[in-house]
Structure 1
Amino acid sequence: MKRFAARLFEAFITLWLLATLCFVLLRAAPGGPFDTEKAAPPEVQAALAAQYRLDRPLPAQYVAWLGDVARGDLGPSFQYPDYTVNRLVATALPVSALNGGVALLLALALGIPVGVWAARRAGRWSDRLLMFGAGLGLAVPKFVAAPLLVLLFAVTLHWLPAGGWGGTPLESLRNMVLPVIALALPNIAYCARLTRASMLETLSADYLRAARARGLSEARLLFAHALRPGLLPVAAWLSPALINVVTGSAVVEQVFGIPGMGRYFVQGALNRDYTLVLGVVLVVGAVIVLINLLVDALRGWMDPRLQDAT
């Protein structure tokens, strides 16, 4: 219980530092949310600044914003005056969570079997071929992979739509395919390589050699004795994998025109929409902290020695 309370306190401090740093950097950036090529009359600028509390000193703006956040109010959007940040986040978060969650599940569903298969056939041509493909998947960044997928499957083959979101269930499913693949590709490659390296070490452990000498079948050795400890590094990798999915969603959602958190973050940063950017950062940061807590719990279940160590 004490450890859980300490982790919650650390999570709170992390989110506070993240929000404070983002607040300071946004205000330090040149330009403002209402700067246009044709400047508005001074009285209009003064009214907008007063409406959004931009006429106050910076410390007063920070304290007022923190007070709103403590009440669960992320504030009004500067560039979407008819919407609050809460409403924009509420519509965008499920979209990003669906794409990112499916991409991460796809990475695990493909990466783990590929890594286990390669470890069982270490040194053979199939192992080399699979690891070459994994290395290629890691080498191609998302901003290159996403347009290439559009060019191949949408423009050339006309199998899938080039972008968009929503529609009928079938249309929604078709719209998801390319973004999910673009998000999942590097994670599939990394998961496969990580699983292979871990399984090679586990399969050569002394206790497995002893079990093999007692006549246990290879299938029982793999599934009953090797798989669980061999996947511990994969469980630890889930946290950075989630961060990779979150950061990659900004590129993927822009390319495919998906109304998710990443796209709102990019548009908010370009338009100096302070409250929108801060709201996205806070929500994404909270999700990452929560996932880290869940991953720690999963690792403790997979290896009780980690619980004893703490």
Structure 2
Amino acid sequence: MTLGIISLTVVISVILGVPLGLRSALRQGTRTDRTIGTLSLVALSTPPFVLAILLIAVFAVGLGWLPAGGWSESWPDSLRFVLLPSVALAGYLAPQVMRSTRQSALSILNLQFLEAAEARGLSSASVVLRHLLPNSALPIITVIGVNAAALLSSAVIVEVLFGLPGFGLLIQEAVASRDYTVLQGTALVAAVGVVLVNFVCEILYRIIDPRIRIAS
């Protein structure tokens, strides 16, 4: 359950953060850039558990669109239960992805290979998708890898709020019963998970950027 929530959080953060970061970089200094920057600052300043409570109050209690907690045994129905927790965690990760994308894109925008692509007659969308975005991808992967441990710790708290059967509920029950063996086991699994995430990031570096493969 915890792995599923974190995976969906990463997907949501990339879907939101990368386009907003590119948009902010391409509109540097405009009202759009300032608006996106302000919204990302507000989201980043809001703790995930506070955002989770707000999401429950609005989308579960107020509008009734999504469940406020619980779990379903079948996978298609389970997506409804993990959506709000993943959005709450994405409020922490998506602004960092956005900022990283913006900063990386700004450092590339004035390079000659982009000017050469435009001189060959490529459309603005082709230049962004085929040249600007791939060269801005490595810092995005780094942000996700660096924040793996923070995502895991935040997911534990969010799972308790939504009553989901994951690391959060397991740790809560272990603390209540003073089961130190379970606590040590969860800490070990979490540490291994963080190491694996960073290992996957290293592999993605080599896949995305051929210069890393050549240098090694």
Partner of 1:282: 188
Shift of 1:261: 1.2
Partner of 1:265: 171
* Equivalent position amino acid for 2:185 in 1: G
Correspondent of 2:123 among 182, 199, 217? 217
Partner of 1:172: 78
Question: Structure 1's 288 and 205: CA in aligned 2 closer, same or farther, altered over 3 A?
Answer: same
The unaligned stretches of length 5 or more in structure 1 are 1-94
Shift of 1:171: 4.2
When the two chains are superposed, the root-mean-square deviation of aligned CA atoms in Å is 2.0
Partner of 2:134: 228
Shift of 1:141: 0.4
8 Å CA contact retained: 1:104, 1:242: no
* Equivalent position amino acid for 2:134 in 1: R
8 Å CA contact retained: 1:261, 1:280: yes
* Equivalent position amino acid for 1:190 in 2: Q
Deviations 1:270-310 (A, max 9, x none): 43211111111112211221121111011122223334555
Q: Partners of 1:224 and 1:173 in 2: how far apart? A: 32
8 Å CA contact retained: 1:250, 1:266: no
Structure whose CA Rg is larger: 1
Residues 81-96 of structure 1 mapped to structure 2, 5 A cutoff:
95-96=1-2
Deviations 1:142-197 (A, max 9, x none): 12111111111222222222111125556423222211111111111111121111
The farther-off stretch of 287-296 and 300-309 is 300-309
Partner of 1:250: 156
Q: Partners of 1:304 and 1:266 in 2: how far apart? A: 45
Correspondent of 1:120 among 21, 26, 30? 26
Q: Partners of 1:153 and 1:216 in 2: how far apart? A: 43
Partner of 1:163: 69
Aligned-partner SS, 1:148 = helix
Correspondent of 1:200 among 100, 106, 111? 106
* Equivalent position amino acid for 2:141 in 1: A
Question: Structure 1's 174 and 216: CA in aligned 2 closer, same or farther, altered over 3 A?
Answer: closer
In the superposition, the TM-score normalised over structure 1's length comes to 0.64
The unaligned stretches of length 5 or more in structure 2 are none
Partner of 2:212: 306
* Equivalent position amino acid for 1:122 in 2: Q
Shift of 1:242: 2.3
Shift of 1:106: 1.1
Shift of 1:255: 0.5
* Equivalent position amino acid for 1:130 in 2: I
8 Å CA contact retained: 2:156, 2:167: yes
Q: Partners of 1:275 and 1:217 in 2: how far apart? A: 59
Q: Partners of 1:252 and 1:227 in 2: how far apart? A: 32
Q: Partners of 2:100 and 2:78 in 1: how far apart? A: 32
Aligned-partner SS, 2:8 = helix
8 Å CA contact retained: 2:66, 2:81: yes
8 Å CA contact retained: 2:96, 2:143: no
Partner of 2:6: 100
Greater per-residue helix proportion = 2
> In the comparison of the two structures, how many residue pairs are matched?
216
The farther-off stretch of 107-116 and 149-158 is 149-158
Shift of 1:101: 0.8
8 Å CA contact retained: 1:183, 1:245: yes
Q: Partners of 1:158 and 1:189 in 2: how far apart? A: 27
